[in-house]
């Protein structure tokens, strides 16, 4: 195997690298001052399997390092996402969880934001969440929780204790799991004969089209397409029966999978696969062009940040996101260009951004006084952030964005 190749975790095919982001830290590990010398780093390179077309990382980070007890991200932190998950739950309750005693299992429910609506409807449910801290938050909300990683052995134990699940749901979780073979065998063991496995994750088509390259980081082991998901489902005796484009997190797709032959596939499945073929999403040349665009955008970003600094402008970051690790560490942006980043998450404040070690300050301090420019890492919450910080713009402050291109607004 060549240094820029690996073996596909799903089909055993050859994964050919198309971009290397270099040495990267854990994206959701925000070290304190005392922890700066103990960070874990790995090579963040991404490639495509020439057999099943699944886009994936070439190097796997141990799951226990990523999804620790103190995992800092809370799904309920965004009003938009709270509304999204409530609507998702209501839809599942109205369409799939309609029998006499329906059962819903969520893989990686985080702080239980989706299952709160399921709970309120009186539907039997279980949150399978490996990160103890957010699992405790979910449990405190009255959600039934099993603190564990979802895999075949876990699923068999759940099925034995609770019976089959009518819905197995996951949001921004399945793409985190390298061992998809075990996940699908677990779904096979737990899912009711007519049940559905529904998951939504960042969509490779949107990442390439919008150049949202910072969606590639340690936790996003896979970047799905309808074609690669369909091929994977077939390998384990399932069928992709529906797809739905979602506007959240810069563009996602919700995939609905059922046992083969149990449901009539929606025309949307074939339509999206055909669109992916026209766009060349399974073509390495397309992905290599995407990589060239990443290099150009990062070069532009660094050049402008240096220019603004040298002109005497005060520039800060906004949003201590996981994906900020990719752009900051690949582009080599540190405290010399961004003295600090502001964030609303209490667990992150007073700590440092991974790798770059830029200090994180409370968003409450953002206005004391306002900076000249703010580089927005939480670009997927642009409207929400701009509404919260409307006074910044009124007083002449300007937002810097790098997706899909470098621009100042």
What's the per-residue H, E or C state across the chain? CCCCEEECCCCCCEEEEEEEEEEEECCCCCCCHHHHHHCCEEEEEEEEECCCCCEEECCCCCHHHHCCCCCCCCHHHCHHHHHHHHHHHHHHHHHCCCCCCCEEEEECCCCCHHHHHHHHCCCEEEEECCCHHHHHHHHHCCCCEECCCCCHHHHHHHHHHHCCEEEEEEECCHHHCCCHHHHHHHHHHHEEEEEEEEEEEEEHHHHHHHCCHHHCCCCCCEEECHHHHHHHHHHCCEEEEEEEEECHHHCEEEEEEEECCCCCCCHHHHHHHHHHHHHCCCCHHHHHHHHHHHHHHHHHHHHHHHHHHHCCCCEEEECCCCCHHHHHHHHCCCCCCCCCEEECCCCCCCCECCCCCCEEEEHHHCCCCCCCEEEECCHHHHHHHHHHCHHHHHCCCEEEECCCCCEEC
Domain containing 359 — which CATH number?
3.40.50.720
Boundary of a domain, candidates 239, 261, 279: 279
Q: Please indicate, yes or no, if residue 73 is contained in any of the structural domains.
A: no
Based on the fold, state whether residues 203 and 310 are members of the same structural domain. no
- Does residue 74 fall inside a structural domain? no
Task: Kindly state whether residue 146 falls inside one of the protein's structural domains.
Answer: yes
Mark whether 152 and 238 lie in a shared domain. yes
Asked if the structure places residue 54 within a domain, the reply is yes
In a domain, 71, yes or no: no
CB neighbour list of residue 29: distance below 8 Å, 6 or more residues apart = 39, 40, 65, 68, 354
| Residue 309 and residue 238 share a domain | no
Same structural domain for residues 175 and 321?
no
**Same domain (yes/no): 149, 25:** no
Whether residue 75 is contained in a domain is answered as no
Domain-located, residue 384: yes
pLDDT for the residue 1:
63
Residues of the chain with pLDDT under 50: none
Residue pair 386/359 in contact by the 8 Å Cβ criterion: no
For residue 176, give the CATH number of its domain.
Answer: 3.40.50.150
223: β partners: 55
Residues 125 and 256 occupy one common structural domain: yes
Domain termination residue (choose one: 260, 279, 298)? 279
Indicate if 115 and 139 belong to the same structural domain: yes
| Shared domain check, 244 and 107 | yes
> Considering only CA atoms, which of 200, 204, 202, 220 is closest in space to residue 26?
220
Q: Which residue is it, tokens 């999804």? A: 67
Q: Which pLDDT score is estimated for 75?
A: 86
- On whether both 195 and 318 belong to a single domain, the answer is no
Domain end point (choices 41, 66, 91):
66
Query: Residues 48, 18: contact at Cβ < 8 Å?
Result: yes
Q: In this structure, is residue 291 part of a structural domain?
A: yes
CA 174 to CA 153: how far, in whole Å? Answer: 17
35 lies in the same domain as 98: no
Shared-domain flag, residues 238 and 162: yes
Q: How many domains does the chain have?
A: 3
- Host domain of residue 232: 80-279
Pair (179, 220) in one structural domain = yes
């Amino acid at each position: 195997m060549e240094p820029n190749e690996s073996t596909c975790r799903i089909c055993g095919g050859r994964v050919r690298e198309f971009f290397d982001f270099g040495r990267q830290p854990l994206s959701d590990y925000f070290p304190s001052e005392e922890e700066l010398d103990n960070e874990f780093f790995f090579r963040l390179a991404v490639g495509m399997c020439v057999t099943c077309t699944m886009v994936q990382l070439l190097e796997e980070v141990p799951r226990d390092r990523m999804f620790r007890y103190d995992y800092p991200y809370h799904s309920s932190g965004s009003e938009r996402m709270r509304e999204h998950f409530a609507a998702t739950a209501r839809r599942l309750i109205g369409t799939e969880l309609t029998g006499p005693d329906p059962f819903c299992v969520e893989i990686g429910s985080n702080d239980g934001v989706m299952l709160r609506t399921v709970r309120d409807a009186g539907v039997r449910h279980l949150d399978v969440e490996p990160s103890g801290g957010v699992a405790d938050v979910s449990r405190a909300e009255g959600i039934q929780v099993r603190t564990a990683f979802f895999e075949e052995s876990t699923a068999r134990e759940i099925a034995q204790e609770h019976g089959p699940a009518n819905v197995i749901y996951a949001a921004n979780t399945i793409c985190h799991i390298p061992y998809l073979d075990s996940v699908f065998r677990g779904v096979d063991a737990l899912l009711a004969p007519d049940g559905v496995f529904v998951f939504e994750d960042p969509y490779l088509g949107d990442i390439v089209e919008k150049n949202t390259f910072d969606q590639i980081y340690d936790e996003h082991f896979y970047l799905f397409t309808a074609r690669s998901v369909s091929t994977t489902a077939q390998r384990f005796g399932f069928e992709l029966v529906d797809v739905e484009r979602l506007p959240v997190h810069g563009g996602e797709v919700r995939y609905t999978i059922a046992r083969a032959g149990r449901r009539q596939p929606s025309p949307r499945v074939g339509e999206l696969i055909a669109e992916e073929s026209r766009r060349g999403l399974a073509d390495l040349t397309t992905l290599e062009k995407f990589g060239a665009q990443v290099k150009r955008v990062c070069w532009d970003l660094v050049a402008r940040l240096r220019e603004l600094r040298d002109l005497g402008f005060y520039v800060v970051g906004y949003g201590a996101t996981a994906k900020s690790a990719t752009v900051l560490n690949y582009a080599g942006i540190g405290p010399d260009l961004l003295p600090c980043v502001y964030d609303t998450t209490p667990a992150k404040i007073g700590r440092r951004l991974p790798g770059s070690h830029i200090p994180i300050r409370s968003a409450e301090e953002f206005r004391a006084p306002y900076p000249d420019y703010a580089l927005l890492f939480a670009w997927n919450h642009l409207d929400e952030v701009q509404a919260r910080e409307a006074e910044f713009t009124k007083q002449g402050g300007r937002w810097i964005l790098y997706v899909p291109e470098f621009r100042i607004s």
